[in-house]
Structure 1
């Protein structure tokens, strides 16, 4: 995850938790609505001045916002590392060719269950 993605997500979550609109916060922060939207979506990097203005508009301490962003990045990094280990372990166990590498699930394995005479509850017409 990129810093701008994590920062935008944190700012959007803060704005939504206050039940405020983009227009309300953009006006209070003296930034265009479109640019604030781009920052929240991780499309634009926020300068330190812009970030300070947005934090003031949201009545948040910039240090608290940056701390939350740091925690989210750390968590995301740990999750990515854990997924990587699962995929590595899966391929070491011979799940290479038919495995779905995103989930570590063997996709070429088929289970066939007998039908008919082998099942006592099956009716034969």
Structure 2
């Protein structure tokens, strides 16, 4: 099943917060968002409005464009994995295959 945009954005926001060593409470206070709601956004349970995302990003001092770019990259990678045919190995296009020439055999 494909990931939802809100789940991927929540993952990106949580990673940014954890990398900074900040708690949900610190970020929620700074963003002026309830702790419970911020938690729901990070877990992908709530779809944050653009205004709310902007407030959270400002509190994290992370550009909204970076959050959206990272989320887009993760979604693209997941779509790429999902598009690969099942059971078919993903072979690099630069892989070269050498097929030996068949020697003709004369039958007497």
Shorter chain as denominator, the TM-score bin is 0.7 to 0.9
Q: Indicate the residue corresponding to 1:64 in structure 2.
A: 66
Write out per-residue CA displacement over residues 12-51 of structure 1, whole angstroms, 9 at most, x where no aligned residue. 0000010100000000000000000000000000000000
Shift in Å, 1:86: 2.1
Q: Indicate the residue corresponding to 1:115 in structure 2.
A: none
Q: Indicate the residue corresponding to 1:41 in structure 2.
A: 43
Match of 2:44, SS state, is coil
Equivalent residues in 2 for 1:19-38, closer than 5 Å: 19-38=21-40
Distance in 1 (CA, whole Å) between partners of 2:43 and 2:75 is 16
- The higher radius of gyration belongs to 1
TM-score for both structures, normalised by structure 2 = 0.77
Match of 1:86, SS state, is coil
TM-score for both structures, normalised by structure 1 = 0.67
Q: 4+ residue stretches of structure 1 with deviation over 3 A?
A: none
Distance in 1 (CA, whole Å) between partners of 2:47 and 2:24 is 17
| Stretches of structure 1 lacking an aligned partner (at least 5 in a row) | 90-125
Shift in Å, 1:78: 1.0
Distance in 2 (CA, whole Å) between partners of 1:79 and 1:27 is 38
